Amino acid sequence: MKLITSVFRETGLLPQFLQHYSQLGVNHFIVGILEKTCSIEVIRSLCRDFPCTIVSSAIDFNGNKDTAFRHWLCKQFISPEEWWVIADLDEFHEYPEPLPALVETLDADGYLFLGSTFLDRITSDGSCPNLRPDYPLWEQFPAAADLTRLWMEAPCSKIMLIRGHGTMLGGHHRPKKPHGPIFKGGKVHHFKWFGDIEGQIRERREIRQRHQESLGKCDRFLALWETYKRFPVAGEYGFHFPVKPINWPEPRV
């Protein structure tokens, strides 16, 4: 099973990302590098213990261009009948059954996509600490909240598996129409909320403004963050609950 992702600036998640998907059955990672935002030498070092093909691009980052880059990678490395995993670096999938059996089921029932929704992972007190790459993610972020939908009013659906050369809208939230049937199952654990999150959202807002894209979700987040300076805890302006993914791998030391 192959996986296609791209790296934009933040690389701290990459070792646990590669280990997680290796455990799930991925045996070939196609890692797209946006060379204006991160060092290809750093990526090569982080990928050295995994079966990775690294492809660099000089494009400026935005959601649509990143999606187009992945479509290009798909056509270079994926056959028309082949199932493959699509995931951002901060998206850790949990499947309803082992990948080989899941793909057989999807094929037998005529599906072309597997989709699910975000489970935004946060700390137990709603704080936003720096990431510890050497420490298990599920212990750093043991709670979950519906932040993407409630705070940013942003799409929280995600495509996880694709058969062949199906094309996605920006952010692989859903396929372009017309498209084949989508099976809904599993979870997408979303590890985005750490470090200087306000700075990250402001940077994303600047990118979206430069490309004349909607600013609404960034502005909503920044307004709430200015007020609260942390994420919701139970009984406040949102909710969270403890979760622990199935068969979560320990990080390599």
User: Tell me: the pLDDT tens digits for 81-110?
Assistant: 999 999 999 999 999 999 999 999 999 999
Phi, psi of 218 (to 5 degrees): -65, -45
Do residues 45 and 151 touch, judged by C-beta distance below 8 A? Answer: no
Taking the C-alpha atoms of residue 110 and residue 106, their distance in angstroms, rounded to an integer, is 6
Taking the C-alpha atoms of residue 150 and residue 39, their distance in angstroms, rounded to an integer, is 34
- Please tell me the least confidently modeled range out of 106-120, 166-180, 186-200: 166-180
Phi, psi of 148 (to 5 degrees): -55, -40
Look at the block and give the residue holding tokens 């972020």: 141
pLDDT of residue 167: 86
Tell me the pLDDT band of 34, cut-offs 50, 70 and 90: confident
Res 242 pLDDT > 80? no
Tell me the pLDDT band of 148, cut-offs 50, 70 and 90: confident
Query: Which residues does 136 contact at the CB level (< 8 Å), separation at least 6?
Result: 16, 248, 250, 251
Do residues 157 and 186 touch, judged by C-beta distance below 8 A? Answer: no
pLDDT of residue 253: 40
Domain annotation for the chain: domains and CATH numbers: 2-242 (3.90.550)
Give the pTM. 0.91
Res 241 pLDDT > 60? no
Strand partners, 144: 121, 241
Tell me the pLDDT band of 228, cut-offs 50, 70 and 90: confident
